[in-house]
Structure 1
Amino acid sequence: MDINIQKSKLQNQQTIQITGSKSESNRLLLLQALYPQISIKNISNSDDSVLMQKALTSTDQLIDIHHAGTAMRFLTAYFSIQKGREVTITGSKRMKERPIKILVDALKTLGADITYLENDGFPPLKIVGNTLNKKEVALDANVSSQYISALLLIASKLENGLELTLKGKITSVPYINMTLSLLNEIDVKTSFIDNIISVKPQTSEIKPCTLTVESDWSSASYFYSVIALSDVGKELTIASYKEKSLQGDSVLATIYKKFGVTTTFLDDAITLRKSSSVETKTIIKLDLSNAPDIAQTIAVTAFGLGLECHMIGLHTLKIKETDRLVALKTELEKLGAQVEITENALHLKASNKITTDVSIATYNDHRMAMAFAPLGLKTTLAIKNAEVVSKSYPQFWEDFKTIGFSIT
């Protein structure tokens, strides 16, 4: 499904309810599978979380997680400790190109039985559940936090717990802290000192508890972009959010001050307001090592405002649903931008011209579709394969219509 966005104008004083965080939901779903005493409220309705739930409750030998990268990493760890069960876990063509060797090697070090079925280092995998009785393993600290979280989520079920040493400078710390915080909420004992993370084995029963998932801050980024691209005085309320968030992408509230957007925290929501315009000579400089998923949104916001933008800490974007750095460069240049990329960075030059009637390719990447949508406030454009948003935010286009976007 392709959609067309006619040049639109934001309607003021709207409130949008956003689904629960995909990152929190998928972590809690795995913990619930290990500890059925856990109840969860406000679970994400994203494709990724639906696939995660389906895989965790399936009795089939073949588990297909399609494009769901988080599910691939977390389920690889989960099935490694399901003693006596054999599964094959596979995914889409792109998933078979996304590396998983770092996680598989770590699990094998702990005693897991995992075999590559096609190409070494990549899915699909055959996993025979086993008792993992070793506790010490080391990883490079700059790898995807999903590898680290996958190990931490199963750690309390290992005979001797886990001692994970991270070598070098740690990236995506907020996602690691999110995982540890959720473990602590169910009374699993953890510590994170210097570069060593320890998780104690859970020898007693987990007490019954209900955990509520906060709404997804990555999804909030598109509304921050909308407000940034709107006139001074425009505002929008989105729910349900809290000031002390576990999600690294909550840094949006700070970053978007650079774009003239203020955030007011309410009881369970936030109001975004365009409080000031931004001088075109402003240069946006950011290190997104701890929040790489919002890079696409920020790049499009800066382009829409005619600002120069330089972002580093983006090395993990090359192994996402697509190579997001190449995809961003390609699509922004269609619109008239000048973009330079490296393995780790993106530099956008200032420009006050936007080419109209451009068709944006999405590369099976939900964030490409959603990041470019706010430009509908500045120009007419088309979004190819727009249904890809269901991976994380199924109601996205309906919510954009609600706030005033003209979409056909």
Structure 2
Amino acid sequence: MELLKIDKIKNSVNGTIQITGSKSETNRLLILQQFYSNLKIENISNSDDSKLMEKALASTSYEINIGHAGTAMRFLTSYFSVKENSEIVLTGSHRMKNRPIKILVDALRDLGADIEYIEKEGFPPLKILGKKLIKDSVEIEGNVSSQYISSLLLIAPTLKNGLQLKFKGEVTSVPYIKMTLQLLGELGIDYSWRKNIISIHPKPTIEEKTIVVESDWSSASYYYSLCALSPNSEITLSSYKKTSLQGDSVLSEIYKNLGVETTFEKNTITLKNTGKLNPSELIDLNLIGAPDIAQTIAVTCFGLGLECFLTGLHTLKIKETDRLVALKTEIEKLGGKVEITNETLQLKVSTKINENIAIATYDDHRMAMAFAPLALKVPLQIEDPNVVSKSYPTFWKDFKQLTINN
């Protein structure tokens, strides 16, 4: 296994980085582009996930393998269900075959989709026969992964009578659902969300439209961490909007309490270390709308010797790995103390960080990138560093650019 050794970074971190387009926005728009050919997309993500999505959508093969790309698996399941007269097998990596998809498949079957499980009930691979779906109403639990919900919303305007999506119980991952709805709105698709029902009106065609994808806020999180751990640091990132569609944009508020001030200018953000910590605000931080930044926040707090209690993390159990278990394992190797449940993580105060520890990444891009900023505190090693290509292929190049002169 490849091992990346990172020497301790000795001075403050300063510089400017251009981050690729959001994977979340890109993958939604790539699906919509299949329905609306006059939609043009700029600043497309260069992540593995988005490349796999593009490849799958262009494929003429009977079997389509999307590897570890969870978003692609969920979105493509709905897409191929409505692609009339098509027949495909949608499969993925060993981990993907153990990531549940029953909730989405059940909802699509309720709408009339023809989907079979090839191996294990409730899990990929799937055999999908594309057909016209006639029904226009379906019910789904509100506390499921937003990707299941977005997957249904993306096909909704292509259905003859649109779609009424009814939620049972409280809806949890609201920001990602709002992102999907706002992108539909940008294409002129009418929708409403009243109480527990989202209604999408049918829209066979749209006017010509170009959408520029905002850069990825999840990727920005690692620079927030670098800035928080590096006194006198200043990092400028592009391209970002103050009125973002991405749930992870809450970073700018959360990291105020970790000593990082965010300044918005045109299409850039500048992060500056203020040294002003407010640890009381981190005691109970609910990340229900932005679970992907939990790893970054936990590692930052560990590096600063702070405690934190993160809630709303139930979807992390079914990501590339069980991220809660992975975080606990790796932080404790470094000398920290972590307690987890199915949806919470509690980090205790730790004053010592063990040096030269090899961080396992578990086929999870976010594990590699979240732990890298700890090099400001101790030398460390990252196993399988190229795993970052899933969402941010140029991460190590950009990381080196900021830290090499220290």
Q: Deviation digits for residues 65-110 of structure 1, max 9, x if unmatched? A: 0000000000000000011110000000000000000000000000
What is the match of residue 263 of structure 2?
Answer: 264
What is the match of residue 253 of structure 1?
Answer: 252
| 1:280 positional shift | 7.2
| Distance in 1 separating the partners of 2:87 and 2:405 | 50
1:290–1:10 Cα change, 3 Å:
farther
Is contact 1:6-1:406 (8 Å) kept? no
What is the match of residue 210 of structure 1?
Answer: 210
Is contact 1:42-1:213 (8 Å) kept? yes
| Distance in 2 separating the partners of 1:57 and 1:282 | 47
Q: Which moved more, 1:9-18 or 1:94-103?
A: 9-18
1:156 alignment partner AA? P
| Distance in 1 separating the partners of 2:259 and 2:296 | 15
Q: Which moved more, 1:272-281 or 1:222-231?
A: 272-281
Is contact 2:97-2:124 (8 Å) kept? yes
1:225 alignment partner AA? S
The correspondence of residues 47-66 of structure 1 with structure 2, limited to 5 A, is 47-66=48-67
Is contact 2:257-2:282 (8 Å) kept? no
What is the match of residue 105 of structure 2?
Answer: 104
Is contact 1:258-1:284 (8 Å) kept? no
What is the match of residue 7 of structure 1?
Answer: 8
Specify the SS of the correspondent of 1:343.
coil
| 1:19 positional shift | 0.3
| Distance in 2 separating the partners of 1:229 and 1:147 | 36
| Distance in 1 separating the partners of 2:88 and 2:280 | 56
| Distance in 1 separating the partners of 2:18 and 2:283 | 29
| 1:2 positional shift | 1.7
Structure 1: stretches of 5+ with no match in the other structure = none
1:378–1:96 Cα change, 3 Å:
same
* Alignment partner of 1:19 is 2:20: yes
Is contact 2:13-2:226 (8 Å) kept? no
Per the normalisation by structure 1, the TM-score is 0.97
| Distance in 2 separating the partners of 1:364 and 1:378 | 25
1:236 alignment partner AA? I
| 1:281 positional shift | 7.8
CA RMSD, aligned part only? 1.3
2:178 alignment partner AA? N
| Distance in 2 separating the partners of 1:133 and 1:283 | 48
What is the match of residue 229 of structure 2?
Answer: 229
Is contact 1:325-1:346 (8 Å) kept? yes
Is contact 1:288-1:295 (8 Å) kept? yes
| Distance in 2 separating the partners of 1:283 and 1:98 | 31
Specify the SS of the correspondent of 1:54.
helix
Is contact 2:175-2:289 (8 Å) kept? yes
Specify the SS of the correspondent of 1:63.
strand
* Alignment partner of 1:314 is 2:313: yes
* Alignment partner of 1:358 is 2:363: no
| 1:172 positional shift | 1.1
2:402 alignment partner AA? I
The correspondence of residues 158-177 of structure 1 with structure 2, limited to 5 A, is 158-177=159-178
| Distance in 2 separating the partners of 1:9 and 1:197 | 52
| Distance in 2 separating the partners of 1:405 and 1:256 | 24
Specify the SS of the correspondent of 1:275.
strand
| 1:277 positional shift | 3.9
Q: Deviation digits for residues 356-383 of structure 1, max 9, x if unmatched? A: 1100000000000000000010001100
| Distance in 2 separating the partners of 1:126 and 1:98 | 16
What is the match of residue 285 of structure 1?
Answer: 284
Is contact 2:261-2:271 (8 Å) kept? yes
Q: Deviation digits for residues 168-222 of structure 1, max 9, x if unmatched? A: 111110100000000010111111111110101114x211111000000000000
2:211 alignment partner AA? L
Q: Which moved more, 1:214-223 or 1:158-167?
A: 158-167
Instruction: Report the count of equivalent residues.
Output: 405
Specify the SS of the correspondent of 1:403.
helix
What is the match of residue 37 of structure 1?
Answer: 38
| Distance in 1 separating the partners of 2:211 and 2:116 | 35
Is contact 2:13-2:230 (8 Å) kept? no
Is contact 1:9-1:405 (8 Å) kept? no
Is contact 1:16-1:237 (8 Å) kept? yes
| Distance in 2 separating the partners of 1:334 and 1:319 | 23
Specify the SS of the correspondent of 1:293.
helix
Is contact 1:7-1:406 (8 Å) kept? no
Q: Deviation digits for residues 335-362 of structure 1, max 9, x if unmatched? A: 0000000001000000110011100000
1:81–1:312 Cα change, 3 Å:
same
1:114 alignment partner AA? I
Specify the SS of the correspondent of 1:114.
strand
1:249–1:282 Cα change, 3 Å:
closer
Is contact 1:239-1:270 (8 Å) kept? yes
| 1:283 positional shift | 4.8
1:297 alignment partner AA? T
Q: Deviation digits for residues 270-313 of structure 1, max 9, x if unmatched? A: 00000124377875420000000000000000000000110000
